[in-house]
Chain A
Amino acid sequence: MDKKLLGVIVMIFILLIIPSNSNAEHQLLQQRIDNAKTGDTIEIPAGVYEEPIVIHKAVNLIGNEDVLFHIESDEPAITIAANHVTLQHISINYNSNEDGQAAILMQSSENKLTHIDIDSENRGILLDEAHNNLLTNITLKGNEELPIPKRQRGIDLWKSHENTITYAHISFVEDGIYIESSSGNIVHDNIATHSRYGYHLMFTKETELFANESYENISGMMIMGTNGTQVYENILQHNQKNVQSLGLLLFDVTNSRVERNDIAHNRLGIFVEDASENEITNNDVHNNFIGLQFKHAEENNIHHNAFSANVVQGLAEESMNNTTNNNYWSDHNGLDLTGDGVSNLAYKVDPFYLHLTNKYPPYRLLFQAPGFLFLEKMMHTPAEQQLIDYAPLLVSPLQTPEMSAENNWATLIISTILFISSLFIIYLGVKQR
């Protein structure tokens, strides 16, 4: 009985002591930051911290897996106001009533955030006029229960230049990585899932996006109003939550390079709208509903891409002077008279279906209906409004010799098996007689 009483007293004591302890720890932490000298390293003791902190000195704050900032406040959980700050190995659980507030607000330059784990209903990390920072190994998760319009951005850059964001894993937010009015940022090897847009650029200059992945978002990458963007080796797949879901959108984009991306299982693979002078090459666009769509796109150079197994390989609308030769179209019945691997018959995509369904959406039900194809042939569309590849490739440019050798072997083995089994069946049949 005495032991039980003692147990209860100890429990009450612990419950009373924990909050005050965490508060004391916090005050100590803020005090330690305030008292630190430039360049000092502060090890954050394990524990739960419940008050926001402000870093206004160039210090290194090092946590560990048992450091948790559990912050419910109108202020950001951590504000980085000084340059040359390092923050690593901490977890943040953040909730704010202040709309648009971020778990980490960075207003300074040359900082390094690494191994940060954020769970936030609000914005994750906001770089507000912050430059030359490195954000790496960030895990960021929004609230899965919230509908997308109520969610906020994961990593948000506003007028922030030459930052690097890498190895971030972002899910259940509005836009995974959003960059606006910024230049020279590098975003690579990140994964964004279950959000509105995986990666969203607005009015940026010379942004580099490579080796990123985007799955199960409404759209993979939305690149809008940008100049000099480089998009390469990204994987944009299974973005089809919405009837207008896209793998990659280039809207009002100039001088960009889009290369070697794997764009598959989206509603629309690549949508090029109001865009000009872009180089789109060596992309693997497959298993989308529509592979490539142009709208008011001019003077883009699209070559050596592979378009395979898309329900509609391509569509063009009021687009002129685009070079679309030397692509591989899996549904093209080509004829190679010269043996150079290039078909002598052109591959044409007629915009008739798109025009008609834009005006009368119910006609979508008649997609690929024989009557529709007949009408398409009857209603002649001017050549400049069609997407035409005058020299389609007969073999995918993305298929390496090893791959084709492997394919040949596989075909040989399967046909041999089929041949032997058919001989066996015939033999059995004959024997029974």
Chain B
Amino acid sequence: MKNKLFLFTIFTALVLALAACGGGDGATGENEGENTNDAATTYEPEDIKETDVCEVCAMAVADNEHATQIVLTNERSIKFDDIGCMYEWIEENGEDDIGTAFVRDYNSEQWFDFTEGTFVFDETIDTPMAYGIISFSDANEAEKFIEDFGKGDMLTYSDLANHEWVMHKEMMGHDHDDHDDHDTDEHNDEEHDEHD
């Protein structure tokens, strides 16, 4: 009988401890939720590890200029292989739990705040999930990219809300009869290489 009482006490203690942990997390979450308005709270981006996979499309996240991440208010970092995947996540989950969303500069691959970026879109820019958007911390660099690439639209963070986020799967409507014209198509090898 004593043993049973002892076991019951331990079980109750464990359940309470577990509940406390859960409650604790929730409470921290709430506090941190409030902290989003607090300029003093800063969130640091994590390095991309070989084991990281995109939260949206389940692909491995390559440690390159296309990687993006959101550090949540509970300081957990979720990673994406393409800005498009991150945007899709934000659309679905809202911004309440976001500490800071980070993107990488196309040239330097340095992390910076998503909301402070300048973006270039062209459907022929190859990104891992073919959203065709790349990010720059410096607007001049973005302009220079468009100049070198020969085309592309420059977008600010607020423009992204009006952007049509789609994967550009150009061959989905492919017609088998146009095989013969492939020699005349200009193909940019460099672009292709970037695809992951």
Listed in ascending order, the chain A residues whose CB lies under 8 Å from chain B are 99-100, 109, 128-132, 147-149, 158-159, 161-162, 180-184, 196, 202-205, 218, 222, 224-225, 227, 242-244, 246, 249, 251-252, 271, 273, 360-361, 366, 371
B183 proximity list for chain A (CB < 8 A): 129
Decide yes or no: A252 and B179 within 8 Å by CB, A100-B189, A246-B58, A361-B76 being known contacts.
no
**Contact indicator B58/A129 (Cβ below 8 Å):** no
Option from B25, B60, B76, B176 in Cβ contact (under 8 Å) with A161: B176
**Contact indicator B76/A147 (Cβ below 8 Å):** no
**Contact indicator A225/B192 (Cβ below 8 Å):** no
User: Smallest distance from the beta carbon of A123 to chain B beta carbons, Å?
Assistant: 9
A161 proximity list for chain B (CB < 8 A): 174, 176, 179
Option from A109, A271, A371 in Cβ contact (under 8 Å) with B58: A271
A27–B181 alpha-carbon span in the complex (Å): 33
**Contact indicator B182/A147 (Cβ below 8 Å):** no
A271–B183 alpha-carbon span in the complex (Å): 38
Q: Can you identify 29 A-B contacts, CB atoms within 8 angstroms? A: A99-B193, A128-B192, A129-B187, A130-B182, A131-B179, A131-B182, A132-B179, A148-B50, A149-B50, A149-B63, A159-B187, A161-B176, A161-B179, A162-B176, A181-B169, A181-B170, A182-B171, A183-B176, A203-B167, A203-B170, A203-B172, A205-B174, A242-B53, A243-B51, A244-B58, A251-B57, A251-B58, A273-B58, A360-B25
Option from A147, A224, A227 in Cβ contact (under 8 Å) with B172: A227
A149 proximity list for chain B (CB < 8 A): 50, 62-63
User: Smallest distance from the beta carbon of B185 to chain A beta carbons, Å?
Assistant: 7
Binary per-residue interface labels of chain B (44-66) against chain A in the complex, 1 for a CB within 8 Å, 0 otherwise: 00000011010001111011000
User: Smallest distance from the beta carbon of B73 to chain A beta carbons, Å?
Assistant: 12
B192 proximity list for chain A (CB < 8 A): 100, 128, 158
B18 proximity list for chain A (CB < 8 A): 366, 371
Q: Which residue of A lies closest to B22 (CB)?
A: A360
Say if the beta carbon of B27 comes within 8 Å of chain A. no
Q: 7 smallest A-B Cβ distances: which pairs?
A: A203-B169, A100-B193, A129-B182, A181-B171, A244-B53, A131-B179, A183-B174
B185 proximity list for chain A (CB < 8 A): 129, 159
Say if the beta carbon of B15 comes within 8 Å of chain A. yes
Say if the beta carbon of B130 comes within 8 Å of chain A. yes
B151 proximity list for chain A (CB < 8 A): none
A183 proximity list for chain B (CB < 8 A): 171, 174, 176
Option from A99, A162, A225, A242 in Cβ contact (under 8 Å) with B169: A225
| Additional A-B contact list (13), CB under 8 Å, known A180-B195, A360-B25 | A100-B192, A100-B193, A129-B183, A132-B179, A148-B50, A161-B176, A181-B174, A204-B171, A224-B59, A242-B60, A249-B58, A271-B58, A366-B18
**Contact indicator A225/B167 (Cβ below 8 Å):** yes
A252 proximity list for chain B (CB < 8 A): 57, 167
A424–B193 alpha-carbon span in the complex (Å): 72
B59 proximity list for chain A (CB < 8 A): 222, 224
**Contact indicator A242/B51 (Cβ below 8 Å):** yes
User: Smallest distance from the beta carbon of A368 to chain B beta carbons, Å?
Assistant: 15
Q: Which residue of B lies closest to A271 (CB)?
A: B58
A180–B170 alpha-carbon span in the complex (Å): 10
A347–B69 alpha-carbon span in the complex (Å): 37
